[in-house]
Amino acid sequence: MAFLDIQSLDKRFGGVKAADSVTLSLKQGSLTALVGPNGCGKSTLFNLITGALKPDNGHIRFDDEEITALPSHEIARRGIGRKFQVPAVFPDLTVFENLTVPTLQKGRFFSRPGNSEKRMDILKTIRLREKQNELASTLSHGEKQWLEMGMILAQSPSLILLDEPTAGMTAAETAETAHLIRTINKGEGVTLLVIEHDIGFIEQLACPVNVMARGKILKSGTFQSIRNDLEVQELYFGRPEGPHA
C-alpha cells in the first residue's frame, strides 16, 4: 500500500490546468525527485498535498487516511513537513534555539528529558553542531537551508516535501545537501519528495525521478532513463542530446 497516494488530481486556474489528472504514489521510506520546467505544476502539487490549495477533482491519501479536504494545519499534524525555496529561519535566535520554535508551535517542550539530546542529534545530522550557539543570521545561505531542514526534523515528520533545497547554493553545498537528504532518508527513515531544477543534484540523489510538464506526470524512471529520454531532453534541456558535428 502506498504511503502517499495521489489519484487523478486536477487543479485549474482560469483556463490553465496546473494539475491535470496527476497520479503519483510513494512508498514509505522512499526518496523521490520531481523535475520539470518552470510553471509545469510542481509547486502547485506541493500546495495541494499540504492543503494550501484544494483540488477541483481527485484524491490524496496519506498513511492510509484521506487528507484531500483537510485544512493545512491538520495535514501538518499528521506528519507532513514542507521546506520552501527561501529558508525561513529566525535570524536573531541561535542555531540551537531555532530548533526549539517548531516544537513549541506544536505544544511540545524541550525542558523535558531527552529533548535536548534530540536537538543535538539533529544538529549533528545537519552538520551545525559546532555552530549551535551562533546566531542564524551569521550562517551561510547553504547552512540556513540545512538549519531549516533541521527545524522540520524537530517536528518528527514522516514525509518531507523539499522545494528546490539547493537554490542559491555553491557546488560544495549542493553536494553536502544531497548527502544530507540521503542521510535523513536512510538514517531517520523519513519519506522525501524533492523538487529541483539542478539535474546534477538530482543525479547525486540517485533516486527515482518523475518529470512533470503542463500539469501532468510525463515520465517516471531512473535518473539515467530520464536523462536519456529524447522527449525529456527536448522538454527540459531544450533539444535532444546527441553526437556533435
Classify residue 124: in a domain, yes or no. no
Q: Tell me the per-residue pLDDT of 24-57, one tens digit each, with 9 for 90 and over.
A: 999 999 999 999 888 899 999 999 999 999 999 9
CATH number for the domain spanning 188: value is 3.40.50.300
Residue 194 is assigned to a structural domain of this protein: yes
Instruction: Please indicate, yes or no, if residue 82 is contained in any of the structural domains.
Output: yes
Burial letters 121-148, b for 16+ CB under 10 A, else e: ebbebbbbeebbeebbeebeebbbbbbb
pTM higher than the cut 0.85? yes
Domain count, the chain: 1
For residue 38, tell me if it sits in a domain. Answer: yes
> Is 76 within a domain?
yes
Strand partners, 26: 4
Residue 61 sits in which domain range? Answer: 4-89+157-236
Taking only the tens place, the pLDDT of each residue in 184-205 is 999 888 999 999 888 889 999 9
Q: Is residue 242 part of a domain?
A: no
User: How is residue 115 written as a grid cell?
Assistant: 529533548
* 44: three-class secondary structure by DSSP: helix
Does residue 110 form part of some domain? no
Residue pLDDT, tens place only, 88-130: 899 999 999 999 988 775 544 444 444 688 899 999 999 999 9
Residue 18 forms part of a structural domain: yes
